[in-house]
Amino acid sequence: MAFPLPPPMRRALDLAAEAAAAGEVPVGAVVTRAEELVAEARNAMRESLDPTAHAEIVAIRRAAEMLGTSRLDGCTLWVSLEPCAMCAAAIGLARLDALRFAAEDPKGGGVVHGARIFGQATCHHRPDVLGGIGEAEAAEQLRAFFRERR
């Protein structure tokens, strides 16, 4: 029996689809606090000409602006793909309480793959991490996106 996705992950996957439609790698991110939407974003590196405009970074920046603080205590980041090392470091620096992601990223991930940022001694904050939420849909979005470009 399949369970419905939590609304923030559903929104992250919808944002990922919007990113793909715009020619960006399909990744979407949502920041919540007390189950309320604080900020959201999708990948925007190509259109903004900014290599740091990953969905997670943009969502974190928007959440910090919306809440008026650089520390996102009490917040959860929902993202359609395992964050890369840059994004994982930003999650730690923002002091997000929790990270929820859909698909793992064996090539570019920085949480359960690659650098494993939260496992490093130099990491000062480790959020609660749970992956695999909506994994099949997120993985198919990514496969379809790259299949169309090959």
- Is 140 marked active-site? no
Beta carbons of 19 and 42 less than 8 angstroms apart: yes
- Residue 87 annotated as lining a ligand binding site: yes
Among the listed residues 56, 135, 137, 148, the single catalytic one is: 56
Strand partners, 75: 33
Beta-strand pair 75-81/98-103: parallel
84 is in an annotated binding site: yes
Give the separation between CA 85 and CA 57, rounded to whole angstroms.
12
Q: Is 75 annotated as a binding residue?
A: no
Tokens representing residue 82 in the block: 């395992």
Q: Which residues are annotated as a binding site?
A: 54, 84, 87
Residues designated as active site: 56
Query: Binding-site residues for Zn(2+), please?
Result: 54, 84, 87
